[in-house]
Structure 1
């Protein structure tokens, strides 16, 4: 069984396995996104983001990650480089094709708004990384930055 994982670093790192039975749902998000972009219908995008959030939060995982992290929100989608099973290959391709950038905060109710996107949060940077294969073994572990903001002031004379 393929175990693609999403990573939500912050105060802690955690991994969420996604079982293969999610394949059709993943494919639907990509197809719905493609249709909305081609038809210039941005109002349908938050619904996709909410559905993605619902999948990641089915056990409270996403909400916990967002609550416990203090800095930027990084979502890493990692799949095997060459899955041996055709079903696993299809799931890996579908995971990479999902419009993760549309992710919204979990538990939103009411009409869908474009402002629901995590990417539009003014206080926290949201970034998505899609990776194929394991990290190289000689890659040093990154240390998380210390909390705090970098402030620059530029003056023109």
Structure 2
């Protein structure tokens, strides 16, 4: 009974992570205005990062075979990367984005050179933390992809018995 759960969970985690990281986010960035893109991502990222965080744990717990150390390490790194994004980087980026949008939404009469400098500083900070988030997302994608080798090898061994 564990094999179908393991297979479906792995497929969901791999597919959702890959699709959101390389297809839907890229496409949305190209077609939506910046604020609308930010709003969309603010609704999708919690789900995306929770999938990256909890999914590998479920995959590990439902394996119908003994997962080799390499496989456990790949799942752990994938999960930790998702948790770093969910618990640390998502809140930081969300706060920076909200502060920047609040300043950008000020009426022209209330804007000053200081406002423009604050917007530039927030944009720079956001870029830094967003870059770190992209790095952890890539690590999660690569490690869950790497687990596919372990998964397929274990299925082949099981099939040959």
Specify the TM-score bucket, using the shorter chain as the normaliser. Answer: under 0.3
**Normalising to structure 2: TM-score of the pair?**
0.26
Flag the structure with larger Rg. Answer: 2
**Normalising to structure 1: TM-score of the pair?**
0.27
Structure with a larger share of its residues in strand: 1
